Structure 1
Amino acid sequence: MRQRIVAGGLALIAAFTGSAAWDGWRLHQQVMAVNERELGNLATALSGEADRNLQAVDLLLRDTATWYEGFAQRTDADAVGAALASRAVGVQQVSVLTIVDASGLQRFRSRATGEPLADVSDRPYFLKQRETDTAGLVINEPIVTRTERQPGLVVSRRLSRADGSFDGVVTAIVTLQALQTAYSAIAPGERSSLLLALEDGSVVVQQPPSASLTRVPELSALKGGARIDTWTSPADGRAKLAAVMGVGKQPLVLAITRDLEEALRPWHDEMRSATLRTLLACLLIALAVAALLRQLRRQAQAERERQRLEARLQQTQRLEALGTLAGGIAHDFNNILGAILGFGELAQQEAAPGSALRRHIDRVMQGGARARLLVGRILEFSRSSVADKAPVHVQTLMEELVAMLAATLPRGVDLEARLDAGDSAVMGDSTRLYQVAMNVCSNAIQAIEGSGTVSIRLRRAELRTQRTLSHAELLEGPYLCLEVQDTGAGMAPEVLQRIFEPFFTTK
Structure 2
Amino acid sequence: MQQPAATVAPPPAGSPGLAGAWGALARSRSVRLLLAIELVVVLAVVGQLWSTRRQVLEAEQRDIGALAGAMAAQADATLEAAAAALGTTRDELARGLLQPGAPGADALLRAHIAGLPQFLALGVADADGRPVASSRGTHGARAPLAGRDFFVAARDGTPGALHLSLPYVARAEDPAAVSVAMDWRDADGRFRGVVMLEADPDFLDRAFTTLSPSADTRMAIYRRDLGLVADGPGDNTRAWAQDDAAHGLWNDPQRGQAREVRLPGGEVRLVSARALARAPLLLVVSRNRAAALAPWTRQAWLVGGFAGSALLVTLLMGLRNAREQARRIASEAALAAGQARMLRAFQAAQEGAWEWNPATGQAYLSPRMKELLGLARDAEIGDETGATALLHPDDIEPLRSAFLDHVQGLSGPFDRVFRVRTPDGGWRHVRTRGLSTTGPDGPMLSGTATDVSEELRAREERQRLEEQLGRARRMEALGALAGGVAHDFNNILAAVIGYGELARDGAAPGSAAQCQLDQVLLAGQRGKALVERILAFSRGAPRAHQPLRLQPLVDEVLKLLASSLPAGTTLASRLQAPDAVVRGDATAVFEAVMNLCTNGLQAMPQGGTLSVELSRVELAHERQLFEGRLAPGAYACLVVQDQGTGIAEQVLPHLFEPFFTTRSADATGGTHRGTGLGLAVVHGVVVDLGGAIDLQTRCGEGTRFELYLPWSDEAVAEDPAGAHAGVVPLGDGEALLVVDDEPALVELATELLAGLGYEPFGVDSSAEALRRFQAEPERFALLLTDEVMPGLSGTALAEAVHTIRPELPVVLVSGWGGPQFEQRAARAGISVTLAKPLTRDELAQAVARALRG
With the length of structure 1 as denominator, give the TM-score of the two structures.
0.52
Tell me the alpha carbon deviations over residues 131-171 of structure 1, each in whole angstroms, 9 at most, x when there is no partner.
34447111122222359833222111111211122122111
- Are the aligned partners of 2:113 and 2:119 in contact in 1 as well (CA < 8 Å)? yes
Equivalent in the alignment of 1:407:
none
1:348-398 CA distance string (max 9 Å, x none): xxxxxxxxxxxxxxxxxxxxxxxxxxxxxxxxxxxxxxxxxxxxxxxxxxx
Give, in whole Å, the separation in 1 of the partners of 2:145 and 2:243. 27
| Structure index of larger Rg | 1
- How far has the Cα of 1:196 moved from its partner? 2.4
Residue 260 of structure 2, aligned match among 215, 220, 230: 230
Alignment partner, residue 167 of structure 1: 192
| 1:369-380 superposed matches below 5 A | none
Q: Which amino acid aligns with 1:51?
A: D
1:183 Cα deviation (Å)? 4.0
How far does residue 252 in structure 1 lie from its aligned partner after superposition?
1.8
Q: How does 1:99-498 map to 2 (within 5 A)?
A: 99-112=124-137, 116-134=141-159, 136-145=161-170, 149-176=174-201, 178=203, 182-207=207-232, 209=234, 210-213=237-240, 216-223=243-250, 224=252, 225=254, 227-232=257-262, 238-283=267-312, 285-286=314-315, 289=318
Which letter maps to 1:168?
A: G
**1:153-206, CA deviations, whole angstroms, 9 ceiling, x for partnerless residues?**
211111121112212211111122655655444444142222223232332332
Q: Which has the higher helix share?
A: 1
The one-letter code matched in structure 1 to 2:259 is D
| Secondary structure of 1:248 counterpart | coil
CA RMSD in angstroms comes to 3.2
2:123 matches 1:98: yes
How many residue pairs get aligned? The number is 293
1:33 aligned residue: 58
Whether 1:69 and 2:98 are equivalent positions in the alignment is no
Shift of 1:84: 1.0
Return closer, same or farther for 1:286/1:123 CA change in 2, 3 Å cut-off: closer
Measured against aligned partners, the alpha-carbon deviations of 1:35-88 in whole angstroms (never above 9, x if no partner) come to 101111111111111111111111211121112222346166332212111111
CA deviation vs aligned residue, 1:239-295 (integer Å, no higher than 9, x gap): 32222222225222222222221111122112212212321332354367469x89x
Deviates more, 1:246-255 or 1:180-189: 180-189
Cα offset, 1:213, TM superposition: 4.6
Q: Residues 178 and 200 of structure 2 are in contact (CA less than 8 Å); yes or no, is this contact kept in structure 1?
A: yes
CA offsets, 1:200-256, max 9 Å, x none? 23323323644445781531422443522334557x863322222222252222222
Residues 183 and 15 of structure 1, relative CA distance in 2, 3 Å threshold: closer
Cα distance change of structure 1 residues 34 and 148 upon mapping to structure 2, 3 Å threshold: same
Partner amino acid, structure 2, of 1:229: R
Write the letter of the residue equivalent to 1:260.
R
Shift of 1:109: 0.6
Q: Is the 8 A contact 2:67 2:212 kept in 1?
A: no
Alignment partner of 1:86 is 2:116: no
SS in 2 for 1:243: strand
Distance 1:147 1:89, change over 3 A: farther
Contact 1:28-1:267 at 8 Å conserved across structures: yes
Cα deviation for residue 108 of structure 1 reads 0.8
Equivalent pairs: percent with the same residue? 24
**Matched residues in 2 for 1:164 and 1:231: separation?**
45
Q: Is 1:121–1:127's contact at 8 Å kept on the other side of the alignment?
A: yes
TM-score w.r.t. length of structure 2: 0.32
Contact 2:78 2:204 (8 Å CA) reproduced: no
Distance 2:53 2:242 in 1: 31
Deviation at 1:14, TM superposition (A): 1.0
> Quick one: structure 1 residues 89 and 124, their matched pair in 2 at CA, closer, same or farther if it must change by over 3 Å?
same
Unaligned runs of 5+ in 1: 298-507
Paired with 2:279 and 2:101, the residues of 1 have a C-alpha distance of 34
Once residues 211 and 133 of structure 1 are traced to their aligned partners in structure 2, the CA distance between those partners, rounded to angstroms, is: 30
Q: Relative contact order, CA 8 A, sep 6+: which one is greater?
A: 1
Question: Counterpart amino acid of 2:310?
Answer: A
Separation in 1 of the partners of 2:279 and 2:139? 31
C-alpha distance in 1 between matches for 2:229 and 2:214: 20
Q: Check conservation: 2:267, 2:288, Cα contact below 8 A.
A: yes
Answering whether residue 58 of structure 2 is matched by residue 3 of structure 1, we say no
Deviation at 1:33?
0.5
The answer for the alignment partner of 1:16 in structure 2 is 41
Please say if residues 222 and 229 of structure 1, whose CA atoms lie closer than 8 Å, have aligned partners that are also in contact. Answer: no
CA distance in 2, matches of 1:30, 1:17: 20
SS at match of 2:137: coil
Q: Unaligned 5+ residue runs, structure 2?
A: 1-24, 326-853
